Structure 1
């Protein structure tokens, strides 16, 4: 195995196993421009938009995922009232691809900030951010 392969494997393992979960009623900032949150409800989403003044939202949880309580259309309806952009980038848990990372980086670099990312626990959103950051894909 090459050194680059081993480094990449360690980075991915670190992202997966060190990603905290944010299933409570809060969001967790990953930097000044981005926060992640776990399991979403319409009330929680409305509250986060009002309290923290997010300008954009990236939804990483597929609508059809087991246990999902709210669809992206419901979130988009709430967000539109606050003039907040919503991007639907569903990512399968444990199956983040390089294409997913590059797509996230494109959204991160183009969307108005601050951004809120949403998935079931916060882990896959955190992993997307960490991988894009480690690859130097984020313009900060």
Structure 2
């Protein structure tokens, strides 16, 4: 599993399997957020499979699906912010590559921390979200 830490509360990863949910629990994660819509790719585990594995491992699971490409809808950003406020941490969010989860986190953090700090944290995790910096500044 390729887990990349964005901050003390959230790490992101590419698509995980139900078996990797158990591994995430063993690593200390207490909740999972799926940002990938079901059926996006052949053979992709469904959210129901991930959620079932999460419950079996004692983790909470939440689905906030966002289509690939473009910016996520405002509602998804608000749901991500709410999930990060409500779910026990640390939280592991995933999508196909981790990029959508990172973008959702970044937009949810706008106004809570400086844009440069958000961009730097994403860069350190291997995600270049520098083009979002103006949006992160305006939201602050």
What's 1:87 paired with?
62
Q: Number of residue pairs matched?
A: 112
Per-residue Cα deviation, 1:66-109 (whole angstroms, up to 9, x for no partner): 24521111111111122110001111112401211111101111
Runs of 4+ in structure 1 deviating by more than 6 angstroms, as ranges, are none
Per-residue Cα deviation, 1:95-133 (whole angstroms, up to 9, x for no partner): 401211111101111111111101000000000011111
Per-residue Cα deviation, 1:46-68 (whole angstroms, up to 9, x for no partner): 22222x21111110001111245
TM-score, normalised relative to structure 2: 0.73
For structure 2, list consecutive stretches of 5 or more residues without a partner in the other structure: 114-140
CA–CA distance in structure 1, aligned partners of residues 89 and 43 of structure 2: 26
The within-5 A match list for 1:1-140 is: 25-50=1-26, 52-67=27-42, 69-95=44-70, 96-136=72-112
User: Which one scores higher on RCO, CA 8 angstroms, separation ≥ 6?
Assistant: 1
Conserved? CA contact 1:26–1:48, under 8 Å? no
1:27 Cα shift?
A: 0.7
CA–CA distance in structure 1, aligned partners of residues 82 and 54 of structure 2: 21
TM-score, normalised relative to structure 1: 0.73
Deviates more, 1:127-136 or 1:111-120: 127-136
Question: Secondary structure at 1:39's aligned position in 2?
Answer: coil
What is the root-mean-square deviation of aligned Cα atoms in Å?
1.6
